[in-house]
Amino acid sequence: MYEELNKNNCSIKIPYSSLQQRPSVASRSLFCRKIMHLISPEDKTTTSASLTKCVMMRPFLRLLLVLHLLLASSTVEGRPQLDSLDNCWALVEDEIEADQAWTRIVSFDEKLSLIRITPDQAGSRVLNCLKEQSLRVSLSYEITLKRSWNNESMTTQPQLVAVHQLIKEGFDFKYVLLHGLYSLHFRLCDMDHTMELGCEPGPGTWSTELPVNQPHPGIESSWCLTERDDLGSVDRYAPVISKLAVKFSFAFTPCHKVLPYEQAVVSLYKAEVNESESVCQNGLEILKTSLPVSAAHLVNKSADEAIVDNRLAAVIAYQTPDLESGRFYCVRIMSTHPFCQSMKPAPFLSDPGVTRVALPEFCNFTSATVYIANLPFITEWVPFCTSHFKCGWLYITAIGSAAFLLSFFLALICNLCCCRKSRQNNPGKRDELNVSPSNLDTLKLTDIKPKRTWADVHEDFYREPPANPGKILLLYSPDTRQFKELQASFRSFLELACHCVVLDLFDEELLQEIAYDPEAWIDQLLRDDRFKVIVVCSQGAYKRHQAILKGEVLNIPNTDSLDGLFSAGLRFLQARHYDSGRLALARYEMLHLSSSDFRFDDLGADREFQVPSQLHELFCWIHEHDPLDLLGKPWLKYHLELQLLQDSLKKARMDRSSR
């Protein structure tokens, strides 16, 4: 409402337009403050009670001012004024506890090292005043941060913040890294006025001092405040080119722990030629933007290694948009950190650090020059085709395939057209199938045996009526006690999993029938065509077979009273030469007693099965199936029987005793 009060000539300068406007809350309070100071200049303080009385006397004061204006000899003069626009932050001083009010409005965030202005924490009068001013887009506040310590003080570059933005988002002074007493200075500015700088004259409004007693962690020992250059180098990673875009990545050691708001300015340059790697110096700047500085994540690093290897504590990554091909590109990174703005970033005498000779490298550095080649159109679908020469074979294949398909379809169309024309010319002639007694056999369809599953084959032995079980005579030499137990497990597997009736010469229940004349018993047994013989190959069986062939008497210590029955069985098979389709050999895998060195070529067997890998073929031999006609897993329901056999085989492998 006013701009100036002059108590020397007893005049108050006031624009006429303000007398017709309703004053704002801020204008009324400041008006009363000036009036009371004019009346009592010796009283330097203004209490809330006196201001309240002033506001209540406002109609009388207005009349007094009008009379004074008419009688005054001086006229209203001077440059344009800020009509009814006052500094709302001056109202904070009117509150009863102004210092506490400033503490709520201006606060220090130790974790982020910034001073935050929060207008929402101000009183209702300040907030209402700011809301009234936010209706005018041209209004803003010039805010300056002042740092003081002992007898030293300095101010930062003033920041101009619009009122509507200040109410909505507040404002932060970042990088408050050093200790000191910080205060803020507010000046109201109107861009529509023609006055000097567009801001209010006078000292403005200062906030109370905000103490910051400790610097940011790591600042006192920061390498940026010393002359150390071994930590200031920047690691430039190889640029990654993806089609027409390039990704640049950099890593460096920061001055302190990376703050969330740290940023760097990146400028992208291009040039048609690369002369002495000077694209970033002489090239054309085509893009400029800001990007964040991120903290690096150390992978597979212990705590001690992370402290020692801190070169990758901060990273900067930039992905360019699609660029023009056939050009050279380079980026320049400039840090916005305050330590990059001065050779003495900590200016006070009480601050740590010395004056540097040069700024750290991460403050301003460039990348390697990258060339975006002119790639053929086919690279979008076939990435490895970076040139037409490399994809020549692909072009030839594609053209040849297209020509072949075109010729094929043309030939097919011509053939159909010619055949149709031929049939139209000879309508009575039809293609006939020449069938004669000489080719009837070739026209018969071959019987195709349907496929079955192993589960169906096993199920045949449990249906009514069940399938005939296999009949097996098992012959083996009891070389060792463990080897004999292995034959018992093998016999059990044949009975349960292979659905067989197994006769064993060493079965004590058959002793009375076998011991009198083993060869006669075997001859009587094998007269049944369904009986088949399985001879287990072993070291003892081989020696006995060789003794029979040579007519020698084998002197082997016998620990089993029934040991000679096996020799009798071998002698019978060697003399009679039964059908080879009924005689098979079984040999255990990876067992020293059943090594492949012990062969029975003269016995007349045409099949030899490896146990346990060929048990399914042994099953098919017993029941006369073709293994290729059966589908699925053969021992799906007989895992226990197979596991018992494998366990016995493992014990026999570990047994190194011999007879």
Q: What is the pLDDT of residues 614-648, one digit of tens each?
A: 999 999 999 999 999 999 999 999 999 999 999 99
- Check pLDDT > 90 for residue 424: no
Torsions phi, psi of 572, nearest 5?
Answer: -65, -45
Domain 88-212 in CATH 2.30.230: no
With cut-offs at 50, 70 and 90, classify the pLDDT of residue 441: low
Looking at residue 78, its pLDDT comes to: 37
| CA distances (Å), origin 143, targets 50, 117, 186, 188, 262 | 30, 10, 5, 9, 21
Q: Which of 432, 497, 436, 431 is nearest to 469 (CA)?
A: 497
With cut-offs at 50, 70 and 90, classify the pLDDT of residue 286: very high
Position with higher pLDDT, 393 vs 302: 393
Cβ atoms 658, 539 nearer than 8 A: yes
Q: What is the DSSP letter of 258?
A: P
Looking at residue 436, its pLDDT comes to: 58
Cβ atoms 567, 548 nearer than 8 A: yes
The average pLDDT across 535-549 equals: 88
With cut-offs at 50, 70 and 90, classify the pLDDT of residue 428: low
Q: What is the pLDDT of residues 54-99, one digit of tens each?
A: 545 555 555 655 454 444 433 333 333 334 478 899 888 877 677 8
- DSSP assignment of 535-595: EE--HHHHHHHHHHHHTPPP------TTTHHHHHHHHHHHHH---GGGEEEEEETT-GGG-
The average pLDDT across 593-613 equals: 88
- Check pLDDT > 80 for residue 437: no
Q: Tell me the three state secondary structure of residue 386.
A: coil
pTM value? Answer: 0.48
Residue 499 region by backbone torsions, left for phi larger than 0, else alpha for psi between -120 and 50, else beta? left
Looking at residue 310, its pLDDT comes to: 45
Structure tokens, 94: 């009117």
Domain covering 452-654 in this structure, CATH number: 3.40.50.11530
Instruction: Tell whether the torsion through CA atoms of 17, 22, 27 and 31 is positive or negative.
Output: positive
- Check pLDDT > 70 for residue 347: yes
The whole-angstrom separation of Cα 381 and Cα 18 is 73
Do 223-296+309-372 and 452-654 agree at the fold level? no
Cβ atoms 186, 126 nearer than 8 A: no
- Check pLDDT > 90 for residue 558: no
With cut-offs at 50, 70 and 90, classify the pLDDT of residue 380: low
Cβ atoms 551, 602 nearer than 8 A: no
The whole-angstrom separation of Cα 191 and Cα 201 is 14
Domain covering 223-296+309-372 in this structure, CATH number: 2.60.40.2150
The whole-angstrom separation of Cα 297 and Cα 309 is 12
The average pLDDT across 390-415 equals: 87
In whole numbers, what is the pLDDT of the chain averaged over residues?
78
Looking at residue 378, its pLDDT comes to: 67
478: cis peptide before it, omega within 30°? no
Share of the chain above pLDDT 90, in %: 34
The whole-angstrom separation of Cα 457 and Cα 193 is 103
The whole-angstrom separation of Cα 69 and Cα 75 is 8
Position with higher pLDDT, 435 vs 374: 374
Looking at residue 658, its pLDDT comes to: 52
Domain ranges of the chain: 4-71, 88-212, 223-296+309-372, 452-654
With cut-offs at 50, 70 and 90, classify the pLDDT of residue 296: confident
Cα first-last separation, the chain = 125
Looking at residue 499, its pLDDT comes to: 93
Strand partners, 109: 114
With cut-offs at 50, 70 and 90, classify the pLDDT of residue 582: confident
Structure tokens, 413: 């169309």
